[in-house]
């Protein structure tokens, strides 16, 4: 048996034998943040809150609806010396079957937008869906976010990871981001402060939380024209990427000069499956939950693809998806 076959067999065994360990927290436990109606709950399943539709429970979970509740949640976690995990749309995350310790703060209910026609700037709260913001701008004839219409994430997540598509990215139009610091203060960070590069910023792995983002757009265009351009971006994305099954979008960052999907496709990994996780036939940089997948299945497939690409091309693909929690080692 070759080394490659040994690796493949080991992955299959690991996937089938991986234990599903849940954090031992009392069910239905909840408490309210002082002075608010915002409940912190324990043992909340995260599977339904991620686009992969996998993942175990949060030790503690909160979904603030306004900045004061976000600040109170942050303060509560710090007072308990708990790690904090931010969860926006859950579209770029792989959460362990074992769940996450500490406090998971879901920002998807922190929604608001303000369009200033005098400056051409739009300010959006961290939980505002990027897709909705793109359409709102297009309806006004404001240009600059057409590319974002197919990205199922939030404004806050886009600011942190420098989300992008169609040769455009968040950094192109971002003016500043307001972030909540561990000491409770608010900082205003400019594009330069954020140190943007391909799909990353200084906020990745940082303890500061994005609360709102301001973008500079171009006003005065014909709304019908901008709407048509936005719709074309969406059609292009749907025609080249799979949307019929749960996924996180692109799994790996694109190494130059070739795209990750091309490298994976050239070594025949389209359709390769471990458990319920499958490399998509339409786009090889997508891994799909083909039904009944566990987070461990997806994790093992990610590692297998990395191994095979490195074996053939002598380069290691770097995940774009954020992998959270403990996983069965490969």
pLDDT at 296 (0 to 100): 98
Catalytically active residues, by annotation: 199, 250, 320
Q: Where are the alpha helices (DSSP H) in 18-119?
A: 67-79
Q: How far apart are CA 284 and CA 302, in angstroms?
A: 12
Angle at 52 between CA 51 and CA 57, to 5 degrees: 95
- Reported confidence tier of residue 195, pLDDT bands at 50, 70, 90: very high
Question: For residue 217, how far is the Cα from the chain centroid?
Answer: 24
pLDDT at 17 (0 to 100): 45
Nearest Cα residue to 322 out of 159, 212, 200, 214: 200
Q: How far apart are CA 138 and CA 45, in angstroms?
A: 36
Domains of the chain in sequence order? 20-106 (3.30.43.10), 113-239 (3.30.465.10), 243-324 (3.90.78.10)
Angle at 282 between CA 252 and CA 94, to 5 degrees: 35
More reliable by pLDDT, 222 or 27: 222
Q: Taking a C-beta distance cutoff of 8 angstroms, is the pair 87, 107 a contact?
A: yes
If you average pLDDT over every residue of the chain, what do you get?
Answer: 92
Q: How far apart are CA 272 and CA 277, in angstroms?
A: 8
- Reported confidence tier of residue 27, pLDDT bands at 50, 70, 90: low
Q: How far apart are CA 43 and CA 65, in angstroms?
A: 20
Instruction: Give the CA count within 13 Å in the CB-facing half-sphere of 277.
Output: 29
Residues 6+ away with beta carbon under 8 Å from 1:
9
pLDDT at 10 (0 to 100): 46
Residues 6+ away with beta carbon under 8 Å from 220:
141
Q: Mean pLDDT, to the nearest integer, of 231-236?
A: 95
Does the pLDDT of residue 15 top 60, yes or no? Answer: no
**DSSP helix/strand/coil, 312:** helix
Does the pLDDT of residue 11 top 60, yes or no? Answer: no
């Amino acid at each position: 048996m070759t080394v490659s076959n040994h690796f493949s067999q080991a992955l299959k065994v690991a996937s089938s034998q991986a234990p599903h360990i849940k954090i031992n927290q009392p069910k239905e436990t909840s408490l309210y943040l002082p002075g608010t109606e915002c409940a912190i709950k324990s043992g909340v399943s995260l599977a339904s809150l991620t686009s992969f539709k996998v993942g175990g429970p949060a030790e503690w979970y909160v979904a603030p609806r306004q900045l004061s509740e976000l600040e109170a949640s942050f303060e509560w976690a710090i007072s308990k010396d708990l790690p904090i995990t931010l969860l926006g749309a859950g579209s770029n995350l792989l959460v362990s079957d074992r769940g996450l310790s500490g406090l998971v703060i879901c920002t998807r209910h922190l929604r608001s937008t303000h369009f200033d026609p005098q400056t051409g700037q739009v300010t959006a709260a961290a939980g505002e869906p990027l897709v909705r913001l793109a359409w709102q701008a297009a309806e006004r004839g404001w240009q600059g976010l057409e590319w974002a219409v197919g990205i199922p994430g939030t404004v806050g997540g886009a600011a942190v990871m420098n989300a992008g598509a169609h040769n455009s990215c968040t950094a192109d139009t971002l003016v500043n981001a307001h972030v909540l610091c561990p000491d409770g203060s608010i900082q205003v960070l400019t594009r330069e402060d954020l140190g943007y590069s391909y799909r990353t910023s200084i906020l990745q792995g940082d303890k500061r939380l994005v609360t709102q983002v301001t973008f500079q757009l171009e006003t005065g265009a014909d709304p019908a024209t901008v709407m048509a351009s936005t719709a074309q971006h969406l059609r292009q994305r749907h025609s080249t990427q799979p949307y019929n099954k749960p996924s996180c979008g692109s799994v790996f960052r694109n190494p130059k000069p070739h795209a990750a999907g091309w490298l994976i496709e050239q070594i025949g990994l389209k359709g390769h499956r471990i458990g319920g996780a499958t490399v998509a036939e339409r786009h090889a940089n997508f891994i799909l939950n083909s039904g009944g997948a566990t987070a461990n299945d997806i994790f093992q497939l990610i590692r297998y693809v990395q191994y095979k690409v490195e074996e053939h091309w002598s380069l290691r693909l770097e995940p774009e998806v954020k992998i959270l929690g403990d996983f069965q080692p490969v």
